[in-house]
């Protein structure tokens, strides 16, 4: 397989189209991670990983938008923790603020505890909440197990998070015309600390911006990183895929 990429954040179960078609079209993608955003989508993620062994990895988590329902959904997510490849997606979202901030932090900390307890990576969504995400990661000591998904921070926050030993996952926005801040930040990230993702079905990169995203297009994200780092795309595919294998235990 030429240039096998790994799409580390691909919500196959939220897409609506048949997962086997999306995976078939992604012939240069070796495997994907399909993050759960609540108890039901986490169970579906596990089912997909059983249906496509080696091609889809499961996670269990509760998205910050739904954090208020942690008391109800937490037990089902905790039950899945031992058999999935990662916890999340969790994190803090102060942009949409769909759950109260204290409920978001409670749910985030509970999921970090699961990740620490089961020695699994935790996939973190961070939107307009850099200071608090940084504080929680620092407090809990989960740093080196942390994947910051769809990283959009600028150079200042990127430096501070680098100090916590997290891994940065880049998505479509790095390739947007408006993505200069993210590209400048990515230039500071050593390739060994980076992953690529699509966040399917959202945030399609150019030349597909505005369309429904799919895993095949992760290579546009990778090509942008190759430009930023001045490295051949082949090398970016190799190193980010090796990082993904190490982090998600494959
Ligand atoms: Zn997501």
pLDDT tens by residue, 6-30 = 999 999 999 999 999 999 999 999 9
- pLDDT for position 250: 76
- pLDDT for position 193: 98
Task: For 56, list phi and psi in degrees, rounded to 5.
Answer: -130, 130
- pLDDT for position 2: 60
Distance 194 CA to ligand 1 centre (A): 17
- pLDDT for position 18: 97
Q: Is the pLDDT of residue 136 over 60?
A: yes
Q: What digits encode the pLDDT tens for the residues 171-203?
A: 999 999 999 999 999 999 999 999 999 999 999
Distance 213 CA to ligand 1 centre (A): 12
Distance 238 CA to ligand 1 centre (A): 23
Distance 121 CA to ligand 1 centre (A): 15
Distance 159 CA to ligand 1 centre (A): 23
Distance 61 CA to ligand 1 centre (A): 10
Q: Which residues contact 239 (CB under 8 A, 6 or more apart)?
A: 191, 192, 194
Distance 117 CA to ligand 1 centre (A): 23
Distance 35 CA to ligand 1 centre (A): 7
Q: What digits encode the pLDDT tens for the residues 99-117?
A: 999 999 999 999 999 999 9
On whether the CB atoms of residues 152 and 183 are closer than 8 A, the answer is: no
Q: Which residues contact 141 (CB under 8 A, 6 or more apart)?
A: 116
- pLDDT for position 115: 98
Summarize the confidence of residues 223-239 as an average pLDDT.
98
């Amino acid at each position: 397989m030429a240039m096998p990429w790994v799409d580390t954040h691909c919500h196959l179960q939220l897409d609506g189209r048949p997962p086997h078609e999306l995976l078939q079209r992604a012939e240069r993608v070796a495997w994907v991670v399909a993050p759960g955003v609540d108890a039901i989508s986490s169970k579906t993620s596990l089912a997909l990983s059983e249906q496509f062994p080696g091609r889809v990895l499961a996670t269990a988590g509760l998205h910050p938008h739904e954090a208020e329902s942690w008391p109800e959904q937490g037990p089902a997510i905790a039950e899945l923790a031992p058999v999935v490849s990662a916890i999340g997606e969790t994190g803090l979202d102060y942009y949409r603020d769909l759950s109260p901030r204290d409920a978001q932090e409670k749910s985030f900390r509970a999921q970090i505890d699961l990740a620490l307890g089961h020695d699994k990576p935790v996939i973190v969504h961070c939107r307009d909440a850099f200071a608090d995400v940084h504080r929680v990661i620092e407090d809990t000591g989960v740093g080196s197990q942390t994947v910051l998904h769809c990283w959009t921070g600028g150079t200042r926050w990127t430096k501070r998070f680098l100090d916590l030993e997290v891994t940065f996952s880049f998505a479509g926005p790095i390739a947007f015309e408006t993505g200069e801040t993210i590209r400048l930040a990515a230039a500071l990230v050593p390739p060994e600390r980076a992953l690529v993702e699509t966040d399917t079905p959202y945030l399609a990169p150019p030349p597909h911006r505005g369309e429904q995203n799919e895993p095949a297009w992760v290579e546009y994200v990778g090509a942008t990183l190759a430009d930023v780092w001045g490295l051949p795309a082949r090398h970016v595919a190799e190193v980010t895929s090796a990082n993904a294998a190490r982090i998600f235990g494959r």
